[in-house]
């Protein structure tokens, strides 16, 4: 009996319970839905997805079908073609993913078939770790403690690359090769986003045997660039966090625990979004009154200067230019540019988050929106609103030799570089005053 594997954000053969289940009774059919939602992705991210799919198709001996259709259509059609009654997939926890899997389950059921979900993109599925009274954790540190205590399974082992059945070609098959050829192939990427599962694994092993040792001291240093660069692989499921944790778990060094703590943030944000789907657009708490965020033509100009890396604050500009040319930005700099948008330009975090959605290759709903809320001070266990980054002191501290800013802002010490667009000290005062005003109206 043929089963179908509906590939989602788990684009790998190793440690993939949904795929292993689909292969249990013999060769499986593999299908990925190239949905209309992908039109809203940046060309770079779409091209990266196409390369990931291209590589996975190679690994499956050409069996992976990529079909241009909403998931419910693509999966049902594949199941019918394969005469399969069971479809296996990993469970999603974002609002869009939950909606999509409900539609697929309904379409299959109406046709006498069944969607079975197993596994998730997390070591511990969102919703599992709870306080003794059954409510979700709102504070990260106790969440992390309970998350560690809950623990996770060992990696599930590799799927059989020979264990796939081919579907007959279909009019909705996507020309992956053509899309994969677009995007950032021309970019001078020093560290291209890896799209092959085996290479991600090698890079992970290199990191665990190398830079991980200095992670605690160096992770905030954009000039050293020694973090794992695993984020896009995790976002597309080229590697499962369980596999990552199994490897770091073999390292008896405090840096490995610091690194695992970052993976735990990823799980905390996913858990928060699962419990609070409105966090995708809405602030979870009010730090500035809605009417006090700036808007209008001046705000638009300020936003564009930020987006284009022309603020006159070197670390902010370097970060925004790194994002524009590579689709990735160092975490410390993400925090600085986000703080600048919200607390120096007084623009709502959603505007910045939307730009990141269009620009990041590692974009992930829960990670992006909740990290923005963390910086803005509106999230669960967020950085307090009154803690306002000074972009120049951040630069002096984390890029002491100016290697990072000089790399991304070559005209730094020339007349071509703009003067600071705002007076940070004055904007800091404004931000604090706006916050006081919001506090004053709360509870009225």
Binding site for ligand FAD (CB under 6 A): 219, 227-231, 234-235, 262-263, 265-266, 269, 331, 334-335, 338, 356, 360, 362-364, 367-368, 371-372, 375
308: number of Cβ within 10 Å: 12
Q: How far is the CB of 345 from ligand FAD (least distance, A)?
A: 14
Q: How far is the CB of 162 from ligand FAD (least distance, A)?
A: 31
Q: How far is the CB of 202 from ligand FAD (least distance, A)?
A: 15
Cβ-contact 127, 274 below 8 angstroms = yes
d(CA 438, CA 288): 5
Q: How far is the CB of 305 from ligand FAD (least distance, A)?
A: 18
The packing angle between helices 391-398 and 331-339, to 10°, is 170
Cβ-contact 126, 153 below 8 angstroms = no
Tokens representing 381?
Answer: 């266990």
By beta-carbon proximity to ligand FAD, the closer residue of 64 and 302 is 302
By beta-carbon proximity to ligand FAD, the closer residue of 358 and 402 is 358
d(CA 284, CA 333): 23
Q: How far is the CB of 246 from ligand FAD (least distance, A)?
A: 15
112 CB-contact burial (10 Å; exposed 0-12 / middle 13-18 / buried 19+)? exposed
By beta-carbon proximity to ligand FAD, the closer residue of 86 and 212 is 212
By beta-carbon proximity to ligand FAD, the closer residue of 67 and 266 is 266
By beta-carbon proximity to ligand FAD, the closer residue of 164 and 268 is 268
Consecutive H or E run containing 145: helix 140-150
By beta-carbon proximity to ligand FAD, the closer residue of 148 and 166 is 148
Q: What are phi and psi of 282, to 5 degrees?
A: -100, 145
By beta-carbon proximity to ligand FAD, the closer residue of 91 and 227 is 227
DSSP, residue by residue, 311-330: SS-HHHHHHHHHHHHHS---
How does strand 4-7 pair with strand 65-68?
unpaired
C-beta pairs of 330-337 under 8 Å, 24+ apart in sequence:
330/222, 330/225, 330/227, 330/404, 331/219, 331/220, 331/227, 332/219, 332/220, 332/221, 332/222, 332/394, 332/398, 333/222, 333/404, 334/371, 335/375, 335/389, 336/389, 336/391, 336/394, 337/306
Q: How far is the CB of 332 from ligand FAD (least distance, A)?
A: 8
Give every CB contact of residue 353 below 8 A, 6+ residues apart in sequence. Answer: 368, 369, 372
Q: How far is the CB of 168 from ligand FAD (least distance, A)?
A: 37
Tokens representing 253?
Answer: 């060094």
By beta-carbon proximity to ligand FAD, the closer residue of 200 and 338 is 338
Q: How far is the CB of 360 from ligand FAD (least distance, A)?
A: 5
By beta-carbon proximity to ligand FAD, the closer residue of 339 and 435 is 339
83: number of Cβ within 10 Å: 9
Q: How far is the CB of 412 from ligand FAD (least distance, A)?
A: 23
């Amino acid at each position: 009996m043929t089963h179908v594997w509906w590939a989602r954000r788990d684009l790998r053969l190793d440690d993939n319970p949904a795929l292993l289940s689909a292969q249990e009774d013999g060769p499986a059919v593999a299908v990925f839905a190239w949905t209309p939602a992908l039109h809203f992705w940046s060309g770079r991210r779409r091209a990266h997805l196409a390369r990931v799919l291209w590589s996975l198709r190679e690994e499956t001996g050409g069996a992976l079908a990529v079909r241009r259709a909403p998931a419910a259509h693509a999966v049902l059609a594949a199941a019918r073609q394969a005469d399969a009654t069971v479809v296996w997939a990993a469970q999603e926890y974002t609002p869009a993913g939950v909606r999509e899997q409900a539609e697929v389950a309904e379409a299959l059921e109406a046709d006498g078939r069944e969607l079975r979900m197993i596994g998730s993109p997390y070591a511990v599925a969102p919703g599992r770790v709870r306080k003794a009274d059954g409510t979700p954790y709102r504070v990260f540190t106790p969440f992390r403690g309970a998350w560690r205590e809950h623990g996770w399974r060992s990696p599930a082992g590799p799927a059989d690359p020979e264990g796939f059945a081919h579907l007959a070609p279909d009019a909705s098959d996507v020309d992956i090769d053509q899309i994969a050829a677009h995007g950032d192939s021309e970019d001078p990427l020093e560290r291209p986003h890896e799209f092959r599962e085996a290479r991600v694994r090698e890079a992970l092993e290199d990191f665990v045997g190398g830079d991980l040792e200095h992670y605690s001291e160096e992770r905030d240093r954009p000039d050293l660039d020694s973090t794992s660069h695993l984020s896009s692989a995790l976002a597309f499921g080229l590697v499962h966090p369980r596999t990552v944790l199994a490897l770091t778990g073999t390292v008896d060094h405090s840096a490995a625990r610091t690194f695992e703590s970052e993976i735990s943030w990823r799980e905390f944000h996913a858990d928060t979004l699962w419990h609070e789907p409105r966090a995708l657009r809405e602030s979870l708490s009010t730090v500035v009154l809605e009417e006090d965020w700036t808007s209008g033509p001046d705000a638009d100009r300020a936003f564009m200067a930020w987006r284009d890396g022309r603020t006159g604050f070197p670390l902010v500009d370097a970060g925004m230019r790194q994002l524009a040319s590579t689709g990735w930005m160092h975490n410390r700099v993400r925090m600085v540019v986000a703080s600048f948008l919200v607390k120096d330009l007084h623009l709502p975090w959603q505007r910045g988050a939307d730009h990141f959605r269009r620009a990041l290759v590692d974009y992930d709903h829960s990670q992006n929106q909740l990290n923005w809320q963390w910086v803005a001070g509106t999230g669960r266990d967020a950085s307090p609103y009154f803690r306002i980054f000074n972009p120049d002191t951040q630069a002096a501290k984390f890029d002491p030799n100016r290697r990072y800013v000089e790399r991304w802002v070559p005209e730094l010490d020339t007349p071509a570089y703009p003067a600071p667009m705002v007076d940070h000290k004055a904007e800091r005062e404004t931000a604090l005053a706006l916050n006081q005003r919001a506090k004053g109206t709360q509870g009225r």
